[in-house]
């Protein structure tokens, strides 16, 4: 195979398998080429991705070594994206009676959810999560795309245990904002005690749901390595979780005036 074609296929493979280590030997056999040629290909890909701000191709030394593609966009690129997102979400037509903001179309959009998932992955990749956890329903697309960008599985807690998923661990918790008792369930086979869990959700107000998920992870004896949401409300300032990351902060929705005050967090 000629270099130009190999570059195309190697790029595709690396993009579709982020955060995983592959050896030069593996690629050499896959594309029927000498390791030295593969090495040159990878250098070209590395430079192209780096210069375009798409990600980094790392060389891992040692017996278990190889190369690994990690999505890493420059802070400016991320900030521009989040500003654009704020602009879209701040449209007055999105205000729902009762003081809510309609975000479902953005959260469920493959285009936006994949970009948001890549940002979450970039923030938490160094914490080395082994899986992503969310609770149904609206957190699922963001959590799935985060898991995809990290190259790890997704685990989804349900509101009730399901007969189709076998024995489960169930917890009850008090929702921080509505003060109602809520349930959350996760099949016993969905999580093991060695997992390093990244918790992802779409929205946080008081943080009760996130705290519920942390409690659920503890019941399995696993570890939470991060909690992140797309949007957190500015109030209450004190959330029920000690530490969390949000990409956007919702300061206020003024239903009367038709004004939404939403801003990106400066975190990079």
In the bound state with a second copy, the residue whose beta carbon lies nearer, of 195 and 267, is 195
Query: Kind of pairing, strands 259-264 and 245-254?
Result: antiparallel
Stretch that binds a second copy, among 45-53, 79-87, 219-227, 240-248 (CB under 8 A): 45-53
In the bound state with a second copy, the residue whose beta carbon lies nearer, of 136 and 242, is 136
Residues 185-204 that bind a second copy (CB under 8 A): 187, 189-190
Q: Residue 52, interface with a second copy (CB under 8 A)?
A: yes
Q: Residue 105, interface with a second copy (CB under 8 A)?
A: yes
CB 7, min distance to a second copy, A: 5
Which one of residues 166, 221, 236, 258 is an interface residue with a second copy (CB under 8 A)? 166
Which one of residues 23, 39, 114, 182 is an interface residue with a second copy (CB under 8 A)? 114
Stretch that binds a second copy, among 104-112, 234-242, 249-257, 260-268 (CB under 8 A): 104-112
Q: Residue 140, interface with a second copy (CB under 8 A)?
A: yes
Q: Residue 110, interface with a second copy (CB under 8 A)?
A: yes
Q: Residue 155, interface with a second copy (CB under 8 A)?
A: yes
Which one of residues 62, 64, 126, 163 is an interface residue with a second copy (CB under 8 A)? 163
Q: Which residues contact 78 (CB under 8 A, 6 or more apart)?
A: 119, 122, 268
């Amino acid at each position: 195979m000629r270099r130009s074609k190999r570059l195309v296929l190697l790029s595709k493979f690396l993009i579709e398998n982020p955060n995983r280590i592959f050896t030069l030997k593996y690629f050499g056999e896959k594309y029927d080429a000498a390791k030295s040629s593969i090495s040159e290909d990878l250098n070209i890909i590395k430079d192209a991705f780096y210069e375009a701000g798409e990600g980094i191709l790392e060389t891992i030394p040692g017996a278990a070594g190889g190369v690994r593609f990690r999505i890493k966009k420059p802070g400016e690129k991320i900030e521009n994206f989040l500003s654009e997102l704020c602009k879209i979400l701040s449209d007055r037509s999105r205000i729902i009676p009762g003081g809510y903001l309609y975000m479902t179309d953005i959260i469920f959009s493959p285009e936006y959810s994949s970009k948001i998932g890549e940002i979450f992955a970039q923030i938490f990749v160094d914490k080395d999560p082994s899986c992503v956890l969310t609770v149904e329903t609206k957190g699922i697309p963001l959590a799935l795309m985060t898991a995809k960008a990290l190259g790890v599985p997704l685990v989804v807690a349900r509101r009730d245990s399901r007969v189709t998923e076998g024995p489960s661990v169930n917890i009850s918790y008090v929702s921080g904002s509505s003060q109602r008792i809520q349930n959350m369930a996760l099949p016993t086979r969905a999580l093991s005690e060695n997992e390093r869990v990244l918790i992802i959700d779409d929205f946080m107000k008081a943080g009760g749901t996130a705290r519920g998920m942390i409690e659920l992870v503890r019941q399995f004896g696993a570890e939470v390595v991060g909690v992140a949401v797309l949007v957190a409300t500015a109030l209450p300032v004190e959330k029920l979780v000690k530490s969390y990351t949000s990409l956007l902060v919702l300061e206020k929705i003024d239903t009367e005036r038709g004004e939404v005050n939403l801003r990106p967090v400066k975190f990079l």
